[in-house]
Structure 1
Amino acid sequence: MTLRREEHTDADRLPVTAQTVPADDADLRLTVVDREFPVDDPATGELDLEDRQALRRVAGFSTQLTDITEVEYRRLQLERVVLVGVWTGGSIADAENSLRELKLLSETAGAEVLEGLIQRRSRPDQATYIGRGKVEELRDEVIATGADTVICDGELSPAQLRNLEERVKVKVIDRTALILDIFAQHAKSREGKAQVELAQLSYFLPRLRGWGGNLSRQAGGRAGGGTGGVGVRGPGETKIELDRRRIRTRMAKLRRDIEAMKTGRSTKRQRRRRNAVPSVAIAGYTNAGKSSLLNRLTGAGVLVEDALFATLDPTTRRATTSDGRLFTLTDTVGFVRHLPHQLVEAFRSTLEEVAEADLVVHVVDGSHADPTGQISAVREVLAEAGAGDLPEIVAINKADLADPIELARLQTLVPRSVVVSARTGAGIPELLEMIGAELPHPEVEVSALVPYARGDLVAKVHEHGEVIEVEHTADGTRLRARVDPGLAATLNGFATA
């Protein structure tokens, strides 16, 4: 196949160095664009970030393609979308914030947003989501901008999707399908991919569409109308019924697989409980800086990206409080307003990491236009996951970008909060002190004289317990500490009055 490709870049947007690579075949002409990627930093997961961006187009780059396969075209071409929302309640600022969030979701999915429309209605239209006049305006906007997709800021019924597509003559998707698409792009682990596939199948099952009578194999006796002729009468099954049956079979298998993987996750949690290691879950709105905070506290090196739903797979790392006690810190998937219930169900095993924790660090983007709305949305999902009653520390992140007056207002509104910056490290010592104060303290107080030959026991007390007093004597290390019952039983042989 002959391939000709030219890359044109806007130097004002992204500095690049272009060079032409000679080839033996005169028909093959490529322009290679060299970008300077930052050196891999374990605190930001730069290698994973480079892999994710390897096939992502950049808005503003123009591409002229000839003699290219459809697969390569779909990789390189940005979808051009128009957003549409229905404002049913609240202020106009709330409606605009919701549409801005839909814009960020669309850009994260790899689309170029051209225009956004909002209609004020008491409730969405049952047939087309927006009113008849707004549909005509939307159609004119699609034609004027050359858009190929319309994204609605809500979950549409199958009838609404079909009717709206017939009117505007381009592909129509809703907020739920958009979020599912982002999850499908970002899932990396086997469990994450299975959870996303289950959520997608749950969403698309009631939205399957037939291709007309040419795919139907249903014609039985008089019920078939006799139009099929001799040899085609009898019991049959339509193509759409076959697809539904196969989807249900696949969903049953995915549920069994996720349940099996859930067992492994539960085993790890039980092992941590036996070792009396407290657990802390980092939760919060998507793109609030949860992974950055995990990297700052533990040096985990997980992927950090300024995009929505960059993290899907939970990551657990060891950390220590300011007084030296060990605990585990788990980064979880971010939440969003109107999180699809299919995702909540499919990711229930992942959300159990939050429900089983001893403490939740709720990360809030202090520089966001509506941080209080984000807090409410996250707490709603936490309550649905069974973690609504857990102790909570609110970490107001991105202090280096936020307005100090807004930060002070947030701290006044939200009790048990601390202002931090995962980027600069500001406020991290105060956060660790708050975590140490909120974590459960060991139950049993012991006094023991541990011989120097058993330095391993002293190390365990420092690592898993809370040392009250320590003294080094000629006979060994005299300890007074609070420890868990298992370690207390081990220290009984060295107990002192």
Structure 2
Amino acid sequence: MEQLKQKAIIVGVNLNNQPDFSYSMEELRGLAAACNMEVAGELHQKANRVGSSHYIGTGKLAELSAMLEAHDAPVVIFNDELSPSQLRNLEAYLQRKVIDRTILILDIFAERAKTREAQLQVEVARLQYMLPRLTGLRESLGRQGGGSGLKNRGSGETKLELDRRRIEERITALQAELEKLVSRRQVQRKQRQKNKVPVVCLVGYTNTGKSSLMNVMVETYNPRPEKQVFVRDMLFATLETSVRSIELPGHKSFLLTDTVGFVSGLPHHLIKAFRSTLEEVAEADLLIHVVDYSNPEYKQLISVTNDTLKELGADQIPTIFAYNKTDLTDHLYPQVHDGSVYLSAREKSGIHELTELIRSQIFNGYIQCEVVIPFDQGQLVAYFNEHAHVQSTSYEPQGTRLKLECKAADYEKYRGEFIEL
């Protein structure tokens, strides 16, 4: 049987007339739906600052209480991260379950996490979120259980300290396990740097089609079904970093990395917990910023992604904009304009154009040359056949004549071993 959806009222404060407020509330509806909740009503308030005690003003608080009664909704969701005291005060006043945007995103991440590393990262973030809010949770439980007096308060405080200690111990244990996985990832990253294989990273808002684009790239250049990554039309389908080797014609290859999607108000607990995963972004040679061009608010989504990249220290890395889902718009595609490409991963259109942009960015250290390699240097001929694009081969009295495109670094390294033409 399909699980019954829980009714919820969503609440947002529009601070100083934010231009993206309506989209942020629409996105909150999407986040609630992803948590199997039905949004029964919506409450807005315009303000210069949020209320320190209840987040919203007393008038709006009474209006919210009436809405919850009218819709028989057991849950209220706030479009911001609430402080421990705000959470406590709201639950006491409304007598309803109160959750904020942060815990909503954390719940989605917890449900989507598949690998051990992602599960550990999400649990650490959830526990760090819970730690300062234990008092509110404990009071909420006490209210349900009833009772009063010093005896009840004392047992609650003892239980609170036990809970806090258990959570802190659990965080320490999880972080120790994470460190082992992180060190393994760093070893793999150092090996890639040692091999001097360029790393290209797909970044962008959640559900813009990064994984779909990666699958089309893999299918185009390395058609093996087991190399495909998980794709679904939903928020945060990808929480794990996937790395695939893309082998281009001419013995040129690079590593393509798919990363977790961003969202406005991405909880700092999550960014901190996923920092090891997101380091892949900061150490990339090139970023492909995938944009859902069919979304009317795509410029706002670009801005959120750019802000997150800045927070990760990745805002100075060369970037190509890939405007995906162009098939759902009136814009011509495939098309390259000002270093950006308009494409459709679903239609597998624009992949060649994107590849050429990538090639021009990461393989600019190549040179065209013609050399004669003495016959006693046969291993050098084999090396260039494997690591360069040999356009023609002929044989002369002095040795093997190669016309090739190779890395400038390789040319300089071996130029003493061959005859330059």
Q: Fold match, TM over 0.5? A: yes
What is aligned with 1:416? 339
CA RMSD in angstroms, aligned pairs only: 3.1
1:383 and 2:310 matched: yes
- Alpha-carbon deviation of 1:241? 1.1
What is the 5 A alignment of 1:434-445? 434-442=357-365
What is aligned with 2:24? 98
Distance 1:238 1:293, change over 3 A: same
What is aligned with 1:88? 15
What is the 5 A alignment of 1:239-258? 239-258=159-178
The answer to whether the 8 A contact 1:323-1:436 is kept is no
- Which whole-Å deviations, capped at 9, do the CAs of 1:258-289 have from their partners, x for residues lacking one? 22211111111121122221000100001111
Size of the alignment, in residue pairs? 398
What is the 5 A alignment of 1:168-183? 168-183=94-109
**For residues 403 and 156 of structure 1, what CA distance do their matches in structure 2 show?**
41
1:355 and 2:275 matched: no
What is aligned with 1:483? 407
1:310 and 2:225 matched: no
What is aligned with 2:419? 496
What is aligned with 2:186? 266
What is aligned with 1:132? 58
| The one of 215, 225, 245 aligned to 1:295 | 215
The answer to whether the 8 A contact 1:289-1:422 is kept is yes
Aligned partner of 2:348: which letter? G
TM-score (norm 2): 0.85
What is aligned with 2:129? 203
**For residues 280 and 195 of structure 1, what CA distance do their matches in structure 2 show?**
24
* Structure 2 unaligned regions, length at least 5: 143-149, 220-226
What is aligned with 2:393? 471
The answer to whether the 8 A contact 1:418-1:427 is kept is yes
Q: Give the share of equivalent positions with the same residue, in percent.
A: 40
**For residues 352 and 250 of structure 2, what CA distance do their matches in structure 1 show?**
11
1:166 and 2:92 matched: yes
- Alpha-carbon deviation of 1:153? 0.4
**For residues 352 and 249 of structure 2, what CA distance do their matches in structure 1 show?**
7
Query: Which is richer in helix?
Result: 2
- Alpha-carbon deviation of 1:469? 4.8
**For residues 88 and 68 of structure 2, what CA distance do their matches in structure 1 show?**
17
| The one of 352, 355, 379 aligned to 1:429 | 352
What is aligned with 2:261? 334
Aligned partner of 1:363: which letter? V
What is the 5 A alignment of 1:203-222? 203-209=129-135, 211=138
- Alpha-carbon deviation of 1:481? 3.4
1:189 and 2:78 matched: no
- Which whole-Å deviations, capped at 9, do the CAs of 1:167-194 have from their partners, x for residues lacking one? 2221110000000000000111111111
**For residues 486 and 324 of structure 1, what CA distance do their matches in structure 2 show?**
14
The answer to whether the 8 A contact 2:251-2:386 is kept is no
- Which whole-Å deviations, capped at 9, do the CAs of 1:85-138 have from their partners, x for residues lacking one? 1111345x6221111001111111222222222111112111111121212222
* Structure 1 unaligned regions, length at least 5: 1-6, 8-56, 58-75, 216-226
What is aligned with 1:49? none
**For residues 85 and 386 of structure 1, what CA distance do their matches in structure 2 show?**
30
**For residues 136 and 351 of structure 1, what CA distance do their matches in structure 2 show?**
43
After TM superposition, the runs of 4+ consecutive aligned structure 1 residues lying more than 4 A away are 321-324, 442-446, 450-456, 474-477, 484-489, 491-494
Aligned partner of 2:407: which letter? V
1:79 and 2:3 matched: no
**For residues 182 and 398 of structure 1, what CA distance do their matches in structure 2 show?**
24
Distance 1:253 1:487, change over 3 A: farther
